[in-house]
Structure 1
Amino acid sequence: MSDTNSELAATAEIRARIDTTTPHSARFWNYFVGGKDNYEVDREIGEQIKEIFPGLVDVALTSRLFLGRAVRHLVAEHGIRQFLDVGTGLPTADNTHEVAQRVAPDARIVYVDNDPIVLAHAGALLTSTPEGRTAYLDADLYDPDAVLEAAAGTLDFSRPIALIILNTLGHVADHDQARDLVRRLVAGLPSGSHLVISDSTATSEGMIAASNAYNASGATPYHVRSVEEIAGFFEGLDLLAPGVVRVTEWRPEAGTPSAPAVDAYCGVGRKP
C-alpha cells in the first residue's frame, strides 16, 4: 500500500472512532471559543449551558488568553524553548506552537492527546517554523511514563521544558489520582522546567450547575475543583507571581480592558 493510501486508511479508521451522537468536551469547548469543529449535539448542550451559566463562555475565552500570556512570558522571561502540551484539544487560533514560535522561532512543541477527533485534526497542529519543530503524540495522560518517553523523540530532556495542562485535569475524577499524574509528569522533567495549569473551579453556584448539566449530557464527565485543590498541583514547585489566581488575573497585559471575574483558576510553577 502506498504512503498516501496508508494515510487515507488511517484517517478513515480515526474518523470511524468519532462518536457524533453524544457531546464531546473538545468539540464543546471548540464551540464556546468560536471554532467550527463541532457537531449539532455539541452546539445543543452548549446552548443549554449558556442558559444555565453564560459565564462559562467567558471561562473558555479567558483561559485561552491565559495560555498565550503564560507561553509568551516563559519564552521571553525564562528562556523556555520547549513545551509539552498535554490534553491539547482541538486547534483554534493562537495554539501553543504559534504563540511560542512568534517569539522564539526555534521553539519545540509536543502536543499530547488520545482523542480521535483531536487526532483527526492533528495535521492542523503539525506546522512549524523551519527553525523549530512541532509534533503530535497519540498518548494518554493516564500513562505519564509513555508520554515522557515518546516526547523525548522531539524534546531535549537535558534542557528545561514547560508542561502545559489546561482544562484537562477535571476529567480525572479522583483528585489524588490527578495530583499523582501531574507529579509523575513533573518528576520526569529537568530542573528549571515549568508547570502551567488552568481549570474551571467550583467557585459559584452557576459553575457547579453548569458542570452538573454537562455531566448529565452523556459526555465524559468533567469535575470542577476548589481553588485549594488547584493550588495543590503545584506542591514542591516555586510559584511564579501572582500565584494561583483567576485566569484573568495572571499577569494581565497593560492597556487591555478589565476582564470578568471568571470561575477558572491558574498558576505557573518552576521546578527547582
Structure 2
Amino acid sequence: MSLSSAHEWAPPGVDPEQPSVARVHDALLGGMENFISDRSVARRLKDAVPEVVNLVWCSRAFLGRVVDFLVREAGIRQIVDLGAGLPTVENTHEVAQFADPRCRVVYVDIDPMVEPHARAILSGNPNADAITADVRDVESVLGHPSLTKLIDPAQPTALLAIGLLHLFSDQEDPHGLCRRYMAALAPGSHLAVSHLMASPSPQAKALEALLQATMGTGHFRERTAVSRFFDGLVPVEPGVVHLPEWHPDERIPGPLAPWEELLLGGVARKPYA
C-alpha cells in the first residue's frame, strides 16, 4: 500500500523513487499500489494529455474484447499475459474464466510488485498464476516452473502484448521478440498486440516526449511497423486498426476522437502449416 509521506514502504527489490510503467498505469487508473514518484508522472501525463486516462481505459476495454474473442471464438484455453501490470478491473483471467472456467492464465511482469498483488487476487484459483520475469528473456519466461505448470506447449496459446512493445526501442528488436515467442508456441496460437502510433498530432507528440522524459521509454511506431509484429501469422479481421474499431461492442457512432487514434491493435494466428 502506498503512503502519502516521503518515506514510503516498498517491498524488497522495489525502488519507490524510481517510477515504473506498471505503477504509473495503476495511478492513472486510480489504483492504490503506487508511489509518489509514480503519481508525479501520472499527473504530468494528465497535464500534457488530459485524455490519457481515457486512453488507458480504451486499452483495457480492448484487452477484454480480445480475451473474450480468443476464448469464445478462437477456442483458446491458455493465455500468457506479457507485461501484465498491476491487477485492476476485468483482469485477463476474469474475462477468460467467465467465458470458460477451465482457461489457464499466467501473468508476467518485471515489476516485483505485480506478482504478490496478483497472487493475492488469484488465491484459491488453481488455473491462474503470476511470475516476475523480464519478458525479453523468452526462454526464462516460457521455462518458468509456474508457467510450465499451467501452460501446455503442445496446445495453442494466446500471447498478449497489450501496451508492451512500445516500451522497447528498435535496438531491443521487439519484432524479433514476437517472432521468438511465436516460434516457441504451438500452431494455432494467437498473438495480440496494442501499440502507440506515430502521428504528427499534438497529443501524440506531447505524450511521446513526456514518456521519454519521465520514463526513458515510449517508442511510437507507424502502422506498417505495428503490422510487422504479425509477420508470418494469419491476421484476424479487421487486421491492425485503432482500438475502438477492433470488434467493438457497439457500432462506432462516428469519427474517432483524436486520442482514440493514438493506439493501434490487432490479433493474428500462427498457421498450422
TM-score by length of 2: 0.87
Relative to structure 1, the CA distance from residue 266 to residue 251 in structure 2 (aligned partners, 3 Å threshold; closer, same or farther) is same
Kindly report which structure 2 residues correspond to 1:42-121, keeping only aligned pairs within 5 A, or say none.
Answer: 42-121=38-117
Answering whether residue 262 of structure 2 is matched by residue 263 of structure 1, we say: yes
Relative to structure 1, the CA distance from residue 233 to residue 55 in structure 2 (aligned partners, 3 Å threshold; closer, same or farther) is same
Q: Residues of 2 paired with 1:56 and 1:251: CA distance?
A: 22
Question: Contact conserved, 1:14 with 1:116, CA < 8 A, in 2?
Answer: no
Question: Contact conserved, 1:240 with 1:267, CA < 8 A, in 2?
Answer: yes
Runs of 4+ off more than 4 Å: 255-259
Question: 1:23 — aligned with what?
Answer: 19
* DSSP-derived class of the 1:21 partner: coil
**Aligned residue type for 1:179:** H
Answering whether residue 253 of structure 2 is matched by residue 254 of structure 1, we say: no
Q: Residues of 2 paired with 1:196 and 1:224: CA distance?
A: 17
* DSSP-derived class of the 1:111 partner: strand
How far did 1:262 drift? 3.4
Q: Residues of 1 paired with 2:18 and 2:30: CA distance?
A: 20
Question: Contact conserved, 1:91 with 1:124, CA < 8 A, in 2?
Answer: no
**Aligned residue type for 1:56:** V
How far did 1:14 drift? 7.6
Structure 1 unpaired stretches of 5+: 1-12
More displaced 10-residue stretch of structure 1: 77-86 or 195-204: 195-204
More displaced 10-residue stretch of structure 1: 196-205 or 93-102: 196-205
Question: 1:216 — aligned with what?
Answer: 213
Equivalent of 1:138, from 114, 132, 139? 132
TM-score by length of 1: 0.87
Question: Contact conserved, 1:163 with 1:195, CA < 8 A, in 2?
Answer: yes
How far did 1:128 drift? 5.9
Relative to structure 1, the CA distance from residue 92 to residue 179 in structure 2 (aligned partners, 3 Å threshold; closer, same or farther) is same
Q: Residues of 1 paired with 2:111 and 2:268: CA distance?
A: 27
Q: Deviations over 1:39-73 (max 9, x none)?
A: 22222222222221123222211000000001001
How far did 1:222 drift? 2.2
Question: Contact conserved, 1:53 with 1:206, CA < 8 A, in 2?
Answer: yes
Q: Residues of 2 paired with 1:175 and 1:190: CA distance?
A: 28
Q: Residues of 2 paired with 1:239 and 1:128: CA distance?
A: 36
Question: Contact conserved, 1:194 with 1:270, CA < 8 A, in 2?
Answer: yes
Q: Residues of 2 paired with 1:194 and 1:128: CA distance?
A: 28
Q: Percent identity?
A: 37
Kindly report which structure 2 residues correspond to 1:99-248, keeping only aligned pairs within 5 A, or say none.
Answer: 99-127=95-123, 129=125, 133-150=127-144, 151-174=147-170, 177-203=173-199, 204-217=201-214, 219-248=215-244
Q: Residues of 2 paired with 1:122 and 1:73: CA distance?
A: 23
**Aligned residue type for 1:264:** L
* DSSP-derived class of the 1:216 partner: helix
Q: How many residue pairs were aligned?
A: 257
**Aligned residue type for 1:207:** A
**Aligned residue type for 1:262:** E
Q: Residues of 2 paired with 1:113 and 1:125: CA distance?
A: 16
